[in-house]
């Protein structure tokens, strides 16, 4: 007999009148979809605004936002394993908090995706306008919209593969920039002639937090936006293939429930 505190599992998708989604996403696809969502416009284009607002203390902003995102995604992952339904967090809110909460959550996510999509295609037009200043930017915006729409009309496995390889390109670009920065520091190459190069710039020019706590808080809004999109990993639960269950913890080393770890004390696990 089930405990009254535990809601019954969500109904399985499929059956008469309920077509199922194609479960073509592997663990590799899901992991890189989440990684690729976090690496995008907010990082490549918005990080300059965050650095300008907070200075070197932007590192703290990324650490704080990353810790919050980690805890939220731990909880979302637990819910996705419990109820692998296409509606994801909209369905979870409706199931545990009521239909109105699910309605608000679902449409809030739609509104967020519209804003993010507009920001992404705008940033793409800005980037291409730098390299091709004589070409109208609306052409680049239209081209990227048509390209993304064409990819989304294909099978979900093809979408997963595209996300996988495009994310590898993003990660490769970040590693190349980090490596290039280290080489420039080692060679003493400075953007401004006569300015010293090195880690001392983290505390020079006004200190580690030149604009104070206000600058750090201002940068947090930009940094949190950079992590936007990683929640789509929850939506992939309805199209994920067979995933092997995690091994049970050893009896000699008990671990607190995942919900406690993800919500209150992530340092325990």
Answer whether 55's CB lies under 8 Å from 210's CB: yes
Where on the phi/psi map is residue 91: left (φ > 0), alpha (ψ -120 to 50), or beta?
Answer: alpha
- pLDDT of 88-136, one tens digit each? 778 888 888 889 998 998 888 888 888 888 888 888 888 888 889 888 9
- pLDDT of 43-66, one tens digit each? 777 788 888 888 888 889 889 988
Task: Flag whether pLDDT at 162 surpasses 50.
Answer: yes
Rounded CA-CA distance 223/52 in Å is: 12
Q: What pLDDT, on the 0 to 100 scale, is given for residue 3?
A: 45
Mean pLDDT of the chain: 76
Polymer length in residues for the chain: 269
Lowest mean pLDDT among 7-21, 135-149, 221-235: 7-21
Task: Flag whether pLDDT at 267 surpasses 70.
Answer: no
3-class secondary structure per residue, 121-165: HHHHHHHHHHHCCCCCHHHHHHHHHHHHHHHHCCCHHHHHHHHHH
Q: What pLDDT, on the 0 to 100 scale, is given for residue 240?
A: 67
Rounded CA-CA distance 8/79 in Å is: 13
Q: What pLDDT, on the 0 to 100 scale, is given for residue 82?
A: 80
- pLDDT bracket for residue 260 (50, 70, 90): very low
Global model pTM greater than 0.85:
no
């Amino acid at each position: 007999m089930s405990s009254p505190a535990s809601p019954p599992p969500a109904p399985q998708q499929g059956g008469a009148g309920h077509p199922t989604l194609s479960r073509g996403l592997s663990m590799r696809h899901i992991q890189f979809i989440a990684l690729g969502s976090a690496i995008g416009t907010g990082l490549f284009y918005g990080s300059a605004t965050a650095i300008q607002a907070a200075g070197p203390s932007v590192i703290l902003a990324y650490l704080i936002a990353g810790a919050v995102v980690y805890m939220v995604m731990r909880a979302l992952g637990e819910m996705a394993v419990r109820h692998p339904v296409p509606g994801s967090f909209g369905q979870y809110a409706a199931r545990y908090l009521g239909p109105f909460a699910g309605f608000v959550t679902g449409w809030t996510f739609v509104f967020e995706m519209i804003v993010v999509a507009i920001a992404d295609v705008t940033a793409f037009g800005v980037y291409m306008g730098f390299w091709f200043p004589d070409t109208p930017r609306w052409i680049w915006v239209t081209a990227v919209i048509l390209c993304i729409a064409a990819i989304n009309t294909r099978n979900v496995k093809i979408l997963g593969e595209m996300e996988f390889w495009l994310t590898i390109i993003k990660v490769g670009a970040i590693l190349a920039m980090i490596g290039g920065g280290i080489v420039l520091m080692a060679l003493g190459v400075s953007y401004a002639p006569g300015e010293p190069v090195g880690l001392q710039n983290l505390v020079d020019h006004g200190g580690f937090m030149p604009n104070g706590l206000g600058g750090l808080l201002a940068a947090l809004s930009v940094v949190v936006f950079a992590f936007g999109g990683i929640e789509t990993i929850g939506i992939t639960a309805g199209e994920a293939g067979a995933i092997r269950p995690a091994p049970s913890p050893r009896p000699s080393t008990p671990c607190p429930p995942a919900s406690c770890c993800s919500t209150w004390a992530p340092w325990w696990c």
